[in-house]
Amino acid sequence: MKENSQRSDRLVGGCACGHVRYRLESAPIVVHGCHCRYCQRMSGSAFAVNAMIEADRLTLISDGKPDAVHTPSTLPAGQIIYRCPHCFVALWSHHSLLGETIPIVFAGTLDDASQLVPDVHCFTATKHAWVALPEGIPAFEGDYDSELVWSAEAKSRVELAFRGEP
């Protein structure tokens, strides 16, 4: 897995109207290019680029606060999506499998979304035929086994986050 080693001062983003602004305090744990139909619908695009990061490394840098909106997903429990209360842009989510420990930031809301490149592509069985996946990046027709894909550092960060350690 390639590392997303961007400087945190460049990993700043927010909603369309500027009311909610945030910063990632480190590179994400892992970045997914997800081609499932749900991510296509939620992103309004061919796929979503989602960045997993520890909750304590996602910092609000404006006075604006997002609203938590329960949203259906492919899992019965759905997920909580954090949206700007003014322009309604979805900024990040708390997936039902990860809870509040590891938010999933919608990378398209970064000021420079090109800063994050997917480490892995998943649910490619439902990707659009015209989307070409890059060589050298793992790709899976469905979900993938994180034990096989994530770096040792990524695994450690997730474990530490769920133990409540920085």
- Which H or E run includes 1? none
pLDDT of residue 56: 96
All structural domains of the chain with their residue ranges? 8-163
Q: What is the pLDDT of residues 90-99, one digit of tens each?
A: 999 998 888 8
Q: What is the pLDDT of residues 25-84, one digit of tens each?
A: 999 999 999 999 989 998 899 999 999 999 999 999 999 999 999 988 878 888 999 999
* CA–CA dist 138, 151 (Å, integer): 13
* CA–CA dist 47, 43 (Å, integer): 7
Strand 120-122 to 58-60 pairing: unpaired
pLDDT of residue 9: 58
Q: What is the pLDDT of residues 9-19, one digit of tens each?
A: 579 999 999 99
Amino acid, res. 143: D
* DSSP-assigned letter for residue 97: T
Strand 104-106 to 90-95 pairing: antiparallel
What are the C-alpha distances in Å from 134 to residues 34, 37, 118? 14, 20, 10
| Two tokens, residue 110 | 């970064």
* pTM exceeding the 0.85 threshold for the entire prediction: yes
Round the CA-based radius of gyration of the chain to a whole number and report it.
15
CATH for the 8-163 domain, from 3.30.465.10, 3.90.1590.10, 1.20.1440.230, 3.40.50.620: 3.90.1590.10
